[in-house]
Homo-oligomer: A and B are copies of this chain.
Amino acid sequence: MPNKEDILTEWFARQSQAPKSRFPIGIGDDMAQVRLGGDESVLITTDMLLDGTHFDLSTATMERVGIKAMNCSLSDCAAMATIPVCAVVAVALPKGFGSAKLKRLHKGLVKAGRKFDCPLIGGDITAWTDKSSRFAVNVTMLSRPAPGIEPVRRNGAKVGDLICVTGTLGGSLRRKHLSFTPRVHEALTIATAAKIHAMMDITDGLSTDLNRMCKQSDVGAVLDARWIPLSSDAKRTAHPLASALHDGEDFELLFALHSRDFSRIRDLPGIRISCVGIFTEGKYLNIRGIDGRIRRLKPGGYDHL
């Protein structure tokens, strides 16, 4: 089944009238890029997080929600191998929400931002007038290109490139989705060590996000089931491999690079990197199973719509 969100995103991208000279990267990547005067440019990402969809206020603390909201945007900065600059936040409050909870949210936002020198510089507070609408928080973040590193897009994977991921995958909903580390430093280290052809963060599951990278790069892919790094939480599920392939919110990096460059990044200190497959001709995802047989892999990740 086609991903509804992707169909809409592609439609919006086709409608775009933003001139490429001023906006080199637009709809469909992890961040959009805005060229300013001189050589300066800034990147921007906006993310809406909803109670019941991205977190559950009946179990998660407001501080934790603030941390997650900020970290999701920081992960977008990482996905482009850019340096976070600052964030603005808007909230929609249920009736009678109270300022104490908002201050705890603020604490989480600031704490997460501070780790990456990314202060909160503005915001907007609004409240629902009906009785049943739930809490929403929207973070918009700016980043800037690292010196000498062009922002890494999703559309540059080439046939023969290796498919790589950081960390381990799957089972994020058990714990990690509220407490992950955005891979900002890892992305900059990797992009400094080797030429990265394409990169994104894994938010909706490896299969869905790899499919996006393939479509945008006009290539296919073969994953190898034996190489996919399973998280300890994925291993506790009934289907660890399916969990690693399809669960959302890993917030790890997925990237493409030439096979000869793998040695440059394989042993970077403190960064776990796995080669999980190879980009191919064609337009389909395939996976080599534990049994060695190659099968078609349908993207099975999270569809927001």
Contact = CB atoms under 8 A, between A and B. Distances in A.
B120 A18 contact: yes
A132 B130 CA distance: 10
Contacts of A304: 125-127
Contact of A5 (B8, B44, B125): B125
A23 B123 contact: no
A83 to B, nearest CB: 11
A50 B133 CA distance: 10
A48 B124 contact: yes
Given A92-B136, A119-B17, A128 B52 contact: yes
A277 to B, nearest CB: 28
Interface stretch (A98-106, A180-188, A205-213, A292-300): A98-106
Interface string A145-173: 00000000000000000000000000000
A15 B110 contact: yes
Interface stretch (A35-43, A232-240, A278-286): A35-43
Given A36-B42, A127-B304, A26 B121 contact: yes
The residue among A27, A124, A132 with the most chain B CB atoms within 10 A of its own CB is: A124
Interface in A48-87: 48-50, 52-54, 85-86
A4 interface: yes
A128 B114 CA distance: 30
A110 B53 contact: no
Contacts of A8: 99, 102, 125
17 contacts: A8-B102, A17-B110, A17-B114, A18-B86, A23-B86, A27-B121, A29-B122, A34-B142, A44-B86, A46-B122, A46-B123, A48-B92, A48-B126, A50-B126, A50-B127, A132-B132, A138-B140
